[in-house]
Structure 1
Amino acid sequence: MNATLAPWKAVTLIAVSIAIIFGGIIFIDAESTIVLLAAGTALIILSLLWGIKWDAIEKDLMENLRAMFTPILILLAVGLMIGIWMLAGTIPVIVYYGLLLIKPSVFLFVACLACALMSVMAGTSWGTIGTIGVAFMGVSVGLDIPLQYTAGAVVVGALFGDKMSPLSDTTVMAAAVTDVKLVDHIKHMLYTTVPGLVISLILFLFLGFRVSGQVENEQITSILNTLETNFNLNPLLLLPPFVILFLIYKNKPTLPVFGVGILLGALLAIIFQGNGLAEIAVALNDGYTASTGVEVVDRMLQRGGLSSMLGTVALLIAAAIFGSPLRTAGVIDVILNGIQRVVKTGKGIMLSSLSLHSFLFIITGSYYVTFAVLGPMMKSMYDQYGLHRKNFSRTLEDTGTALAPLIPWSVTGAFIAGTLGVPTLQYAPFAPMLYLGIVFAIIYILTGFGIAKVDSPATEKEKPVAAKKALQS
């Protein structure tokens, strides 16, 4: 069982965390990996000085690393897949047809909707971003549309689909930890998610028409000719993404599915591009490295490979190190105990859970941790105030799943930045759906609109007592 620090010591750990993270990233402009390692080291030292045993910290560190292991493997698999799909011509052929068929003025709008559709069907934002998301980034270069615009459109679409899909692990988990029916949970999220998507789509149309006149037909023609010269653009090269989509839709495990995508890419590279095993090995490790002689095409294609993801892997390991002492010291328990002494109303419970989960997620960067910890601990408090638990399950996703791409040290944020090649803070302003969900959630809590009630709430006198017992149980 984890030791729990005195409240003032827990608050000190949180303050030190915030100071080092935001000071290091904003003022010093240091890399997120180094900042997290520095913060983790400081927290471990303070915890040891205050009596927390190293064995306990080490145990939680190993558990955090085990939780990170599968995402790390998926991350590496995506790097391998992007490299081999570039070499095989799969991504180049998507870029080719994208340049032929999509007008610059509606490109961002189409990219967002396409990613949303794929993510809803497949239930994975990672799979969407790592496949057609990367292809859209290539088309963006060809159309001379700023990459941060396209990254925003891809992320909004992918995350909308992730939240709305019954196949998504985060959607299933949020419903499960709060004991809410999956369909009820998804329907309730429409209140906060759809308005953000609509506003985002309007933004993408505005940005698209703003930049649509900047691209020159000669440049597009040059890109198309270069792709035709350097690749055999056979339509059969589109097979891997369709196979991946089908297998994920059939709820097959992600890692084996990506393995199939890598093998298919290697076979197509041999059959259609005439590459040998040496070229395939280079593409898997270093990504696509060949030069076409046209700078804009090289910027589209020279990416992927195992080595491109190693920096992101280091970031995830640093995040695990950083989160370990906070978990061992029982910081979350201290915060919840404080809430139970202060909060006395249903609105207070909803605002507290929204604020607390946002804060803890920003600190830990892992919804697998925060969902699992807060879900079971706070769900019964909603019962005591006559509130349906789906209000809470929606809050978990609005402040976890949707917030994840905005946190550079989160698993999802690190994956997106590494895969799309655009830093988090650059695409964040162009992905409004991600944070508008929180804005609409607060509006609904204050006005009562979109808040589901249950039939038999506790009496006003019973509520605080029952809520306190729920937290203690």
Structure 2
Amino acid sequence: MQPVLSTKKNIILMVVAIVIVFGGIAGIKAPSTIVLITGGAAIIFLSLLWGIKWEDIERDILRSIGHMMIPILILLAVGMMIGVWMLSGTIPFLVYYGLILLKPSIFLFVACLVCAIMTLMNGNSWATIGTVGVALMGVSMGLEIPLYYTAAAVVVGAIFGDKVSPLSDSTILASSITDVELMDHVKHLLYTTVPGLVISLILYLIIGFQFNNETVDSENISAILNSLNDNFNLNPLVMLPPLAVLILISRRAPALPVYGVGIFLGAVIGAFFQDRSIMEVAEALSDGYSYDTGLDIVNQIVQQGGLSSMLSTVAILIAAAIFGAPLQTSGLIDIMLNKIKQFAKTGRSMMASCLTLHTGFFTIIGSYYVTYAVFGPVLKNLYDDYGLHRKNLSRTFEDTGTALAPLVPWSVTGAFIANTLQVPNGEFILYAPMIYLGIVFAVIYIMTGFGIAKSDQQIPRNTSKQIS
């Protein structure tokens, strides 16, 4: 397929896109959604000026948004679940007993492992961050552990679980879009993911040493415990919603119906155990828990959630489609692929080019739902040409998409994490080494050939382009 616009015009589009995104977000610090829409509008205007048909641009925008509909529905469900689980006492229950049972010295280590296990079981890092993660942030406040440490531990655990869970939408998308068996993809991910997790866990144990001899303010802890106990009925039955969700997920039930069950049980328990009216339940589902507990720190812990809390993140998803789709319509992707074919003489240089290409586009667009769908169908055949297994590509997608997302403030995942945990991305990312070490290990493997799988085909399409 020949590019619709010339190389020169596509380069201009790319420069305009980069200038608007980085200038708008890093320079004038404008909201990410507005910056992406502005960038998309500029690209669309130039494309129309140079002869691209609006119908073609509209088709690609709608196609991109179509890929995002399930993630959008999941985001909205997670927002409602956070709000109703606050009202039902589920998350306050976790905070209460977390403060009693967890010691400051091992808190970060345990937090990371808990989030990893939770996401491995439910396949959704957003759900883990929005429920267990929010509860752990509350425990962190009570234990007087800096929130950026806890946010990092929560994110590392959640992203690790998301990458290696066969229930994860990003894992399924990366494998299916490249025609790779799901479990082959998951196993191949372990090469770049496990080392980063181990290094992160060691870091959390080291950081925990500084809290080993600290005396936690017992009066502050007591005040928090008393406030939670006064405002919520902390009956163990309030844990029925997450228990039901875990059981259903373990039976491989679809995510959205499972979250629907969690929301329904939270609403019922809120009505019966917390003596809330139907209107109060509806308000929690819409706008989150908003009642004054009488203690500021507890208010910070529990006044969260609701469908409305996710609308800004949903807007970023839609803005990403508006921004990214016209770059595909213009033919820029095809030009990039032609350049890779022209200059990549070996499998190593081709894989390095693909890794760089996807990292760059993901950093600009901020949505792996867009970049996986755009690059997957066209790059997978390139790996066949070089006699390389496509699971190398699916792993590259996750290393430079799923894992990298928390590092990019204007990405959908990055914005969700910052909004939900209430910690800016730049503050916690230094303490989340797994997020960026995946790329480091990927580069090492490309250079050395270790962990690189050859194609299952006996005769590659182009025998002159082998990895070695």
Shared fold (TM-score, shorter chain, > 0.5) = yes
1:24 counterpart residue number: 24
User: So what's the TM-score if we normalise by structure 2?
Assistant: 0.94
* Equivalent residue, structure 2, for 1:36: 36
Instruction: Report what 1:341 is aligned to.
Output: 342
Instruction: Give the Cα separation in 2 of the matches to 1:309 and 1:381.
Output: 38
Shift of 1:352: 0.9
Q: Equivalent residue for 1:105?
A: 105
Offset at residue 43 of structure 1 (A): 0.9
The more displaced of 373-382 and 3-12 is 373-382
| Cα distance between partner residues in 2 of 1:384 and 1:72 | 36
Partner SS, residue 445 of structure 2:
helix
Structure 1 pair 101/125, CA: closer, same or farther in 2 (3 Å)?
Answer: same
Residues 330 and 250 (structure 1 numbering): CA distance in 2 closer, same or farther, change over 3 Å? farther
For residue 449 of structure 1, what is the amino acid of its counterpart?
F
1:148 maps onto 2:148 in alignment: yes
Q: How far apart are the structure 1 equivalents of 2:382 and 2:271?
A: 59
Note the C-alpha offset of 1:50. Answer: 1.0
CA distance in 1, matches of 2:198, 2:14: 36
Structure 2 residue identity aligned to 1:4: V
- Tell me what 1:356 maps to: 357
Deviation at 1:455, TM superposition (A): 7.7
Query: Equivalents in 1 of 2:455, 2:310: separation in Å?
Result: 47
Aligned to 1:470: none
Unaligned runs of 5+ in 2: none
Aligned position for 2:425: 424
Bigger mean CA offset, 375-384 vs 243-252: 375-384
SS of 1:59's equivalent in the other structure is helix
1:361-440 correspondence to structure 2 within 5 Å: 361-440=362-441
Instruction: State the partner residue of 1:7.
Output: 7
**2:367 and 2:412 in contact (8 A); partners too:** yes
- 1:106-159 per-residue CA deviation (whole Å, 9 max, x = no partner) reads 111101101111111222212222221221121112112222221211111111
Q: Give 1:321 deviation, angstroms.
A: 1.6
Query: What SS does structure 2 have at the residue aligned with 1:290?
Result: coil
- Are the structure 2 counterparts of residues 396 and 82 from structure 1 closer, same or farther at C-alpha, using a change threshold of 3 Å? same
Unaligned runs of 5+ in 1: 468-473
Report the AA paired with residue 57 of structure 1: I
Counterpart amino acid of 1:381?
A: L
Deviation at 1:214, TM superposition (A): 6.3
What residue in structure 2 maps to residue 56 of structure 1? 56
Partner amino acid for 1:281? A
Q: Would the alpha carbon gap of residues 409 and 273 (structure 1) be closer, same or farther in structure 2, given more than 3 Å must change?
A: same
- Counterpart position of 1:200: 200
CA distance in 2, matches of 1:24, 1:373: 25
Report the equivalent of 2:78.
78
Q: Find the counterpart in structure 2 of residue 114 from structure 1.
A: 114
Indicate conservation of the 8 Å contact 2:2/2:334, yes or no: no
Q: 2:178 is matched with which residue?
A: 178
Structure 1-normalised TM-score?
Answer: 0.93
Q: CA deviation at 1:286?
A: 2.0
Q: Secondary structure at the match of 2:210?
A: helix
Indicate how the Cα distance of structure 1 residues 182 and 255 shifts in structure 2: closer, same or farther if over 3 A, else same.
closer
Deviation at 1:461, TM superposition (A): 8.1
Q: CA deviation at 1:287?
A: 1.2
Q: Which one is further off, 128-137 or 371-380?
A: 371-380
Decide whether the 8 Å contact of 1:78 with 1:130 is kept in 2.
Answer: yes
Amino acid at match of 2:181: K
Code of the aligned partner of 1:237: V
Deviates more, 1:295-304 or 1:315-324: 315-324
Distance in 2 (alpha carbons) for counterparts of 1:380 and 1:320 = 25
CA 1:442 to 1:20, structure 2 compared with 1: closer, same or farther past 3 Å? same
* 3-state SS of 2:234 partner: coil
Distance 1:408 1:176 in 2: 27
User: Contact (CA 8 Å) 1:387, 1:457: kept in 2 or not?
Assistant: no
* Aligned residue type for 2:110: V
Displacement of 1:189: 1.6
Q: Secondary structure at the match of 1:256?
A: helix
Map of 1:315 onto structure 2: 316
Q: CA deviation at 1:458?
A: 6.3
The one-letter code sitting in structure 2 at the alignment partner of 1:260 is: V
CA change 1:411–1:384 in 2 (3 A) is same
Question: After the TM superposition, which of the residue ranges 353-362 and 386-395 deviates more from structure 2?
Answer: 386-395
Identity rate of aligned residues, in percent? 61
TM-superposition CA deviations, 1:369-420 (whole Å, max 9, x none)? 3223323322233334333332222112111111122223333223222322
User: Aligned with 1:463: secondary structure?
Assistant: coil
